[in-house]
């Protein structure tokens, strides 16, 4: 496979003004006729026309009316070149594809008998020959023709301009998209579907038609997606002054989908997981996911579609920004400061759980990568979530208003253009008169910076000196790093737990000062500090870094009880827990006695029973760092010891806080009709973590409680929580509950996914059990949600079993990566990533992991997707 480099970018030789596409849809053979009007690009020095095409049968090719024969053009390795062409060209291309045979879910494919497309990043070339690159933006007209009985609904981007019947039971629909777009935003749907629809008043008084399309039988699960869409439209108007630019906006749900959803212009296509919800089948987490993803795809309409990426190295230009926007949307929908903080805590957890490990592993790459083999491998937590952190830092540095000014200038300069990350940074800098040159390093340097802090109080001069130093570990291809521009939000707590007033560098701040660290090391002097403070550093997680500060337990306990910044308050608890988890893990590995101190238990108790705090915050504060996070802290990872340590800690908490846990369980019941709002969800979260702790130290009361909750719960959140408790505590009732659950939901695919997922992640589930679950009639590798529910949850969510000392987990992993690769390389490559951190295990485990990696590497006809991941892991 070939590596593509960012530095090799050249503008396209030809631009496309208009695209007319005709589809004669048939699952076996679909005929695609395309008519492109093109012109030579004045900015290019290259001569010929280059079109990409993959798995297509070319039937006809005409240029300005004349048929081209072999020799006039050449096709090699998926590129069709016409070396001699006039300045103005009309190309007519006819190709055939077989959607029913397409198991990759990329390009045009069939799911449940319906047609769908997925074109990002490079799927359009599986539909027709085209200059399939994001800097070629054109206006599209699309004619769809299909059997009317089988495919009554024909959708594409933009507006429906014509529809009618054809002979032989077929019908047609013609769609026109009024906006220029890159080919990756093209979409069509031809299907038997039904919709919920509504007209919605936009800011300028126009009416927009909103539709959510689903399979018959799912209409009772579309309300929340519709509500989220309306909230998203309103929010983007209010927060950023951005209005829907179309008369019609559609969301279509499909059950076979590689990712969460896709922002095709006016025709978003969604994984059913992020559309369908009612209280019977969806959990609070599912509801939150729907709100976030509906928002995310909708926000792409401006950040991604109206202003798009020049090339795929700039992916974070749209993804980091749009994740930041959906994060802010979700936070604003809760509305309270404490609710906002809980969303922030969840973001920090995602970063530590997934992004920091990626940044420290063989696939580490900058937010704006310099090279790739397969672009689909770069839809990563780094590009998305770290990218969002980078955008958030602009807001932290410039303030909300400054950030808005930057956004306004960005759209003013670049509407309907394909641009680079640098253009976004320039807009932020120029709109605020700020020099953000050094900030560029957040885009170009991979790795998680380490921020080391130390403090010195001088009681005579009433000063507190905070020394901040930064470094960044080497990453593949980047041995040395230069200092980043890091916003470090700091507060100082007095002995009473209150924020001290801050004066630093002669400037007064409220309770929090945003320090800007730009050198390798800097000293910040706070003056007028009347008592020795406890510093609260990196408030609200103001930068995606690892913070080292030599906190004592007492200081952490002080912050855990009092920090006015909820994120750092939570963080103090995580630090207390992590220290102990690491000690317990070491003790467990050496077979010595495990002990947990009263101080820690009492700190947990205090938070648990503090009813002045939101339930959601308390739930988060009680949630221990995951086994993966503990593993990241260890020199040599011992998955079984980590698991035992964490289980021990959970059990001790369950035992010691039993009465309080029962009391909080009772105090946080949510009787009455289910509502997914943050307050209710927070109560359920606290109640269910109480149940989880009680079940970690099971007695007959906790078992009865879990069984009763399972039987009587009126919503899926509580059902799942109860079932997980029964399974994890190896209750005698677990098997029957699982069976009941299956029977009750056997025709709800998304619930059956949960059924597989819960079992895959259960500590008692070993490789043999996963293999037997794969033989269950409801299991299939072809459906990505189902494959993820079992395989991914086992490989990533059940480390103690996956890393079984006999290597059986790795052998299983290798088999499944190879099997999946034959069907769907994108999904296979994701599973391949589960072995990223293999060098951090004991030599014995490493050897087995290496064998498994080499096995995959040696498999015949491996996709580029998997090859890239495996090669990087082994290198």
Rounded least distance, CB 40 to ligand B3K, Å: 30
CB of 514 to ligand B3K, least distance (A): 29
CB of 242 to ligand B3K, least distance (A): 16
- 135 or 571: whose CB is closer to ligand B3K? 135
From the list 69-77, 85-93, 256-264, 421-429, the region that binds ligand B3K by CB under 6 A is 256-264
Q: What is the DSSP letter of 157?
A: S
Q: Which does 376 bind (CB under 5 to 8 A by kind): ligand B3K, Zn ion, none?
A: ligand B3K
Please give the distance of CA 280 from its chain centroid, rounded to a whole number.
Answer: 25
By C-beta, is 515 or 787 nearer to ligand B3K? 787
Around Cβ 166, how many Cβ atoms within 10 Å?
Answer: 12
Rg (alpha carbons) of the chain, rounded to whole number = 28
Element (H, E) at 844: helix 843-857
Q: CB-wise, 324 or 755, nearer to Zn ion?
A: 324
Q: By CB under 6 A, tell whether 374 contacts ligand B3K.
A: no
Burial class (CB in 10 A: 0-12, 13-18, 19+), 236: buried
* Binding residue (CB under 6 A) for ligand B3K from 127, 252, 254, 262: 262
Q: Which does 389 bind (CB under 5 to 8 A by kind): Zn ion, ligand B3K, none?
A: none
- Asked if 316 is part of the footprint of ligand B3K (rule: CB under 6 A), the reply reads no
* Residue from 263, 291, 385, 703 binding ligand B3K (CB under 6 A): 263
Q: Select 305 or 445, whichever has its Cβ closest to ligand B3K.
A: 305
Q: Pick one of ligand B3K, Zn ion, none as the site partner of residue 865 (Cβ within 5 to 8 A by kind).
A: none
Instruction: Among 92, 120, 374, 718, indicate the residue that binds ligand B3K (CB under 6 A).
Output: 120
CA 717 to each of CA 338, 496, 726, 754: distance values in angstroms, whole numbers, following the listed order: 22, 39, 14, 11
Give 267 or 690: the residue with its C-beta nearer to ligand B3K: 267
Q: Give residue for tokens 């609070």.
A: 284
Do the Cβ atoms of 273 and 261 come closer than 8 Å? Answer: no
Distance CA 373, CA 379 (A): 13
Q: How far apart are CA 267 and CA 280, in angstroms?
A: 28
121 contributes a contact to ligand B3K by CB under 6 A = yes
C-beta closer to Zn ion: residue 293 or 622: 293
In the complex, which residue's CB is closest to ligand B3K?
120
Q: How far is the CB of 422 from Zn ion (least distance, A)?
A: 20
**Is 132 near ligand B3K (CB under 6 A)?**
no
242 binds, among ligand B3K, Zn ion, none (CB under 5 to 8 A by kind): none
Cβ–Cβ under 8 Å, residues 379 and 315: yes
- In angstroms, give the least distance from the CB of 156 to ligand B3K: 18
Q: How far is the CB of 388 from ligand B3K (least distance, A)?
A: 11
Beta-carbon neighbour count of residue 682 at 10 Å?
A: 24
Report the partner that residue 151 touches, choosing among ligand B3K, Zn ion, none (CB closer than 5 to 8 A by kind): none
Binders in 288-307 for ligand B3K, by CB under 6 A:
296-297, 300
Task: Determine if the peptide bond prior to 121 is cis (ω within 30°).
Answer: yes
As measured in angstroms, the least distance from the Cβ of 213 to ligand B3K is: 18
Contacts of 94 (CB under 8 A, 6+ apart): 31, 32, 33, 34, 58, 59, 60, 61
Q: Using CB under 5 A, list all residues that contact Zn ion.
A: 319, 322
* Residue 262 binding result from Zn ion, ligand B3K, none, given CB thresholds of 5 to 8 Å by partner type: ligand B3K
The DSSP result for 673-695, as a single string, is S----HHHHHHHHHHHHHHHHHH
Partner from ligand B3K, Zn ion, none contacting 534, C-beta within 5 to 8 A by type: none
Closest to ligand B3K by CB, 49 vs 787, is 787
β-pairing, 194-201 with 207-214? antiparallel
Binding-site partner at residue 212 among Zn ion, ligand B3K, none, CB < 5 to 8 Å by type:
none
- Name the residue nearer to ligand B3K (CB basis): 305 or 834: 305
Burial class (CB in 10 A: 0-12, 13-18, 19+), 419: buried
* Residues in 819-838 at the binding interface with ligand B3K, rule: CB under 6 A: 826
Minimal distance, residue 369 CB to Zn ion, in Å: 16
Please state, in angstroms and rounded to a whole number, the distance separating the CA atoms of residues 252 and 414.
29
Cα 156 to Cα 121: distance, rounded to the nearest angstrom: 18
Number of residues interacting with ligand B3K: please give it, by CB under 6 A: 13
Nearest to 814 by CA among 791, 785, 789, 797: 791
- Which residue among the candidates 291, 297, 619, 748 is catalytic per the annotation? 297
Residue 297 falls in the annotated catalytic set: yes
Rounded to 10 deg, the angle between the 615-622 and 566-589 helix axes is 30
Q: Read off φ and ψ for residue 566, nearest 5 degrees.
A: -60, -30
Smallest gap, in angstroms, from Cβ of residue 332 to ligand B3K?
A: 19
Find how far residue 564's CA is from the centre of its chain.
Answer: 29
User: In the window 376-435, what residues touch ligand B3K (CB under 6 A)?
Assistant: 376, 379
User: Binds 869, which of ligand B3K, Zn ion, none (CB < 5 to 8 A, cut-off by type)?
Assistant: none
Task: Return the closest-CA partner of residue 24 out of 201, 238, 129, 173.
Answer: 173
Distance CA 368, CA 439 (A): 13
Question: Cβ distance 694 to 658 under 8 Å?
Answer: yes
Alpha helices in 635-712, H assignment, sequence order: 639-656, 658-667, 678-696, 700-712
From the list Zn ion, ligand B3K, none, pick the one residue 256 interacts with, judged by a Cβ distance below 5 to 8 Å according to partner type.
Answer: none
Measured from the CB atom, the residue of 385 and 632 that comes closer to Zn ion is: 385
Which tokens sit at 82? 């016409």
Q: How far is the CB of 826 from ligand B3K (least distance, A)?
A: 6
Cβ nearer to ligand B3K, comparing 252 with 576? 252
Neighbouring residues of 8: CB distance < 8 A, sequence distance ≥ 6? none
633 DSSP 8-state letter: T
What is the end-to-end Cα distance of the chain in Å, rounded?
Answer: 15
Considering the complex, state which of residue 647 and residue 785 has its C-beta at the smaller distance from ligand B3K: 785
259 scored as a contact of ligand B3K (CB under 6 A): yes
Nearer to ligand B3K, 120 or 177 (CB): 120
CB of 413 to ligand B3K, least distance (A): 23
Distance between CA atoms of 788 and 776, rounded to whole angstroms? 15
Q: Cβ closer to ligand B3K: 369 or 799? A: 369
Q: Does 319 bind ligand B3K (CB under 6 A)?
A: yes
C-alpha to C-alpha distance for 198 and 752, rounded to whole angstroms = 31
Q: Name 183's Cβ contacts closer than 8 Å, sequence gap at least 6.
A: 19, 119, 124, 130, 131, 132, 133, 134, 136, 138
- Rounded CA-CA distance 676/280 in Å is 12
> What residue has token string 């020795």?
532
Judged by beta carbon distances under 5 to 8 A according to partner kind, the member of Zn ion, ligand B3K, none in contact with residue 259 is ligand B3K
135 binds, among ligand B3K, Zn ion, none (CB under 5 to 8 A by kind): none
Q: Report the interface residues with ligand B3K, using CB under 6 A.
A: 120-121, 259, 261-263, 296-297, 300, 319, 376, 379, 826
Catalytic residues: 297
């Amino acid at each position: 496979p070939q590596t593509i480099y960012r530095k090799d970018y050249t503008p396209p030789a030809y631009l496309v003004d208009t695209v007319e596409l005709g589809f004669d849809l048939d699952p076996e053979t679909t005929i695609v006729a395309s008519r492109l009007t093109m012109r030579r690009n004045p900015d290019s020095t290259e001569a010929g026309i280059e079109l990409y095409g993959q798995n297509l049968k070319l039937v006809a090719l005409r240029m300005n009316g004349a048929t081209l024969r072999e020799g006039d053009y050449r096709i090699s390795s998926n590129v069709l070149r016409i070396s001699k062409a006039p300045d103005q060209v009309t190309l007519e291309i006819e190709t055939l594809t077989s959607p029913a045979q397409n198991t990759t879910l990329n390009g045009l494919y069939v799911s449940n008998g319906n047609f769908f497309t997925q074109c990002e990043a490079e799927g359009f070339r599986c539909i027709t020959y085209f200059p399939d690159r994001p800097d070629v933006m054109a206006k599209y007209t699309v004619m769809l023709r299909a059997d009317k009985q089988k495919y009554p609904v024909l959708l594409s981007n933009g507006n429906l301009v014509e529809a009618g019947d054809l002979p032989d039971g077929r019908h047609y629909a013609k769609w026109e998209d009024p906006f220029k777009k890159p080919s990756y935003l093209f979409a069509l749907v031809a299907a038997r579907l039904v919709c919920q629809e509504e007209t919605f008043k936009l800011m300028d008084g126009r009416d927009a038609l909103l539709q959510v399309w689903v399979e018959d039988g799912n209409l009772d699960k579309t309300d929340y997606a519709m509500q989220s869409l309306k909230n998203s439209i309103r929010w983007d108007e209010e927060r950023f002054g951005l209005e829907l630019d179309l008369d019609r906006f559609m969301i279509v749900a499909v059950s076979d989908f590689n990712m969460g959803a896709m922002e095709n212009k006016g025709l978003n296509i969604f994984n059913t997981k992020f559309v369908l919800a009612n209280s019977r089948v969806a959990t609070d987490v599912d509801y939150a996911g729907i709100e976030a993803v509906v928002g995310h795809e909708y926000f792409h309409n401006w950040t991604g579609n109206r202003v798009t990426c020049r090339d795929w190295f700039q992916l974070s230009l749209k993804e980091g920004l749009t994740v930041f926007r959906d994060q802010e949307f979700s936070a604003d929908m809760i509305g309270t400061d404490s609710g906002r903080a809980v969303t922030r805590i969840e973001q920090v957890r995602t970063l530590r759980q997934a992004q920091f490990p990626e940044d420290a592993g063989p696939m580490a790459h900058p937010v704006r990568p310099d090279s790739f083999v397969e672009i689909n491998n770069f839809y990563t937590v780094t590009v998305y979530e770290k990218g969002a952190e980078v955008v958030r830092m602009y807001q932290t540095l410039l303030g909300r208003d400054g950030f808005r000014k930057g956004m306004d200038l960005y759209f003013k300069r670049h509407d309907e253009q394909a641009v680079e990350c640098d253009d976004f940074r320039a807009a932020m800098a120029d709109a605020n008169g700020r020099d953000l040159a050094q900030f560029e390093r957040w885009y170009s340097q991979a790795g998680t910076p380490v921020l080391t802090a130390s403090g010195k109080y001088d009681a005579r001069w009433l000063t507190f000196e905070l020394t901040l130093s930064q470094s960044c570990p080497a990453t593949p291809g980047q041995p040395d790093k230069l200092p980043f521009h890091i916003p470090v939000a700091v507060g100082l707590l007095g002995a009473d737990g209150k924020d001290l007033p801050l004066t630093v560098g002669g400037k007064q701040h409220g309770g929090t000062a945003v320090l800007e660290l730009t050198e390798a090391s800097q000293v910040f002097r706070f003056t007028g500090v009347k008592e020795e403070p406890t510093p609260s550093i990196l408030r609200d997680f103001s930068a995606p870094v690892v913070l080292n500060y030599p906190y004592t337990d007492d200081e952490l306990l002080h912050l855990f009880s009092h920090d006015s910044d909820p994120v750092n308050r939570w963080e103090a608890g995580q630090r207390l827990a992590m220290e102990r988890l690491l000690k317990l893990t070491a003790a467990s590995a050496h077979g010595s006695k495990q002990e947990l101190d009263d101080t820690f238990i009492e700190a947990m108790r205090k938070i648990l029973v503090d009813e002045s705090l939101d339930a959601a915050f308390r739930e988060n504060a009680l949630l221990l760092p995951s086994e993966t996070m503990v593993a990241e802290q260890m020199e040599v990872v011992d998955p079984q010891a980590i698991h035992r340590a964490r289980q021990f800690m959970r059990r001790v908490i369950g035992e010691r806080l039993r009465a309080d846990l029962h009391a909080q369980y009772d105090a946080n019941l949510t009787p009455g009709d289910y509502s997914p709002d943050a307050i209710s969800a927070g109560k359920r979260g606290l109640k269910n973590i109480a149940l989880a702790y009680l079940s970690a130290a099971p007695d007959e009361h906790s078992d009865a409680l879990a069984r009763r909750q399972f039987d009587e719960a009126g919503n899926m959140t509580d059902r799942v929580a109860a079932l997980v408790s029964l399974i994890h505590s190896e209750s005698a009732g677990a098997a029957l509950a699982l069976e009941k659950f299956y029977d009750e939901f056997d025709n709800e695919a998304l619930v059956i996914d949960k059924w597989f997922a819960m079992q895959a992640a259960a500590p008692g589930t070993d490789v043999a059990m996963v293999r037997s679950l794969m033989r269950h009639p409801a299991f299939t590798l072809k459906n990505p949600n189902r494959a993820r529910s079992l395989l991914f949850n086992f490989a990533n969510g059940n480390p103690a079993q996956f890393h079984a000392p006999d290597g059986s987990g790795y052998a299983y992993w290798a088999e499944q990566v190879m099997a999946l690769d034959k069907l769907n390389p994108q999904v296979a490559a994701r599973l391949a990533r589960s072995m990223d951190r293999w060098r951090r295990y004991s030599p014995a485990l490493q050897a087995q992991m290496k064998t498994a990696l080499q096995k995959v590497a040696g498999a015949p006809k491996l996709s580029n997707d998997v090859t890239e991941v495996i090669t990087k892991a082994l290198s």
